[in-house]
Structure 1
């Protein structure tokens, strides 16, 4: 997970500016799921608090972990400005210690895919299961691998402008399939201001199919699970762009 930590440490100050128009229904989904949970909730990969701070605003008893201290610094500053009291700390999702049992663990916004090896994926799922209360649930989401997108856009620069502290920056992403056997994608993200590169970092994600993730759940001891084709809980079938999973311990 060191590559993910390095990326988010480098990217933290620009993260919110890049994702301020992120509206895919995930915030409402996770907040509603947490609000109907009787016990405490843990968000894994809470980042700068896009979802975590909404949990606090909804009155949810929520803790958070993230691999990047820089991202957590941004979250805590935003919480202070909003008059909220966060309970977050730096930790790796594959190996962390907690003094609480949680009734719900959420892993939003494709964070699970930063586990690029089977060993990491199994370690994370086992860790989540051990951290849950006896009847606890796990909820997470990640994209459906699109081979049309891979063939059409991978290797080509994808550029957009973002506004940060009143100034316009250019963000360029270049994604490549770096390991066809392991199905690993690498994305290089560059931020430019007035023609100069001010940030550059790289991260990797695993491509996971429905059957692969179900096998991971089965081999790490989960009792039952449901996969949805989006945050509206439509059936997971061909044509879906997002896989949303709810698993029971």
Structure 2
């Protein structure tokens, strides 16, 4: 889980890349403020959600594999007068990537915006569930969201560049993103990001790979995990998952 694709240049424009996504912020802030103890955000990135959680008064930590994203987060936290407790680490082995005592520490661990899909192999996926379970107190919860694979969308957009305009270091650039299957039997998708100036010159490019997680695979992972119960919703408004939903939101609970 090291090919995250978010180096210094991509970290600098991450907020612009995700500007259209804000429906999850209130959801995770609500979950964090309702927790009885400390919370941990996996794949905390540049703090898009974490900083609002921290600002709400929650005792919140964060972990991410990209040191460049964490540098952006710390700068943004300082600008808002917040004291961020974040470290570089891998969600498959939370205890092994920090000197903090985290076993049995958190009332809530959450992983937003499809980040769990960076765990591509079944071994890595199971390791995340087990690592999170160990980090939770009795009765603690693991909450995450992943997209519902939409085959019409995949057919229409995969393999084609999807452009958007972003600000990079004070000037307008085009960010192009292309997703395509590189291992169909194992359902591994490569996501390419290419940053170009207005003359069409490539300024920077990165890529990373993810594994889509359809409902039945997540349920199998939950059944094989140490968690005692789980629930899934269709989106962030609390309704049951049903046909046509774009997001599946899972809550797994450690026995009290």
The alignment's TM-score, normalised by the length of structure 2, stands at 0.93
Give the aligned partner of residue 236 of structure 1: 241
1:16 corresponds to which residue?
Answer: 15
Count, aligned residues: 246
User: Does structure 2 retain, via aligned residues, the 8 Å contact 1:175–1:188?
Assistant: yes
Contact kept, 8 Å, 1:17 with 1:164, in 2: the verdict is no
Q: Does the residue aligned with 1:8 lie in a helix, a strand or coil? A: coil
**What value does the CA root-mean-square deviation take over the aligned residues?**
1.1
Please, which of 221, 226, 229 is the counterpart of residue 224 of structure 1?
229
The residue aligned with 1:99 is 101
**Other-structure match for 2:133:** 129
In the TM superposition, what whole-angstrom CA distance separates every residue of 1:114-169 from its partner, at most 9, and x where no partner exists? 00110110011110001100110000001000111111111111111112343111
Q: Could you say which residue in structure 2 is the equivalent of 1:2?
A: 2
Gaps of 5+ in 1: none
Taking the aligned partners of 1:174 and 1:164, their CA distance within structure 2 comes to: 19
Q: Which moved more, 1:164-173 or 1:53-62?
A: 164-173
Cα displacement (A) at 1:220: 1.3
Of 168, 188, 194, which aligns to 1:164? 168
Q: Hey, what does 1:53 align to over in structure 2? A: 51
Matched residue of 1:202: which SS?
Answer: strand
Cα deviation, residue 21, structure 1:
3.1
**Residue pairs, 1:27-176, within 5 angstroms:** 27-97=25-95, 98-100=100-102, 101-176=105-180
**Distance (whole Å) between structure 2 residues aligned to residue 72 and residue 160 of structure 1:** 24
Residues 191-249 of structure 1: CA distance to partner in whole angstroms, max 9, x if unpaired?
Answer: 01132211100111111111110110110121111110000011101111000111101
Contiguous gaps of at least 5 residues in structure 2: none
**Partners of 2:183 and 2:152 in 1: how far apart?**
17
Determine helix, strand or coil for the equivalent of 1:2. Answer: coil
Contact kept in structure 1, 2:39 and 2:108, CA below 8 Å: yes
Structure 2 distance, partners of 1:22, 1:124, is 24
Question: Deviating runs (4+, > 6 A) in structure 1?
Answer: none
2:201 is matched with which residue: 193, 196, 199?
Answer: 196
Q: TM-score, normalised by structure 1?
A: 0.96
CA contact (8 A) 1:158 1:172 kept: yes
Whether the 8 Å contact between 1:172 and 1:190 is mirrored in structure 2 is yes
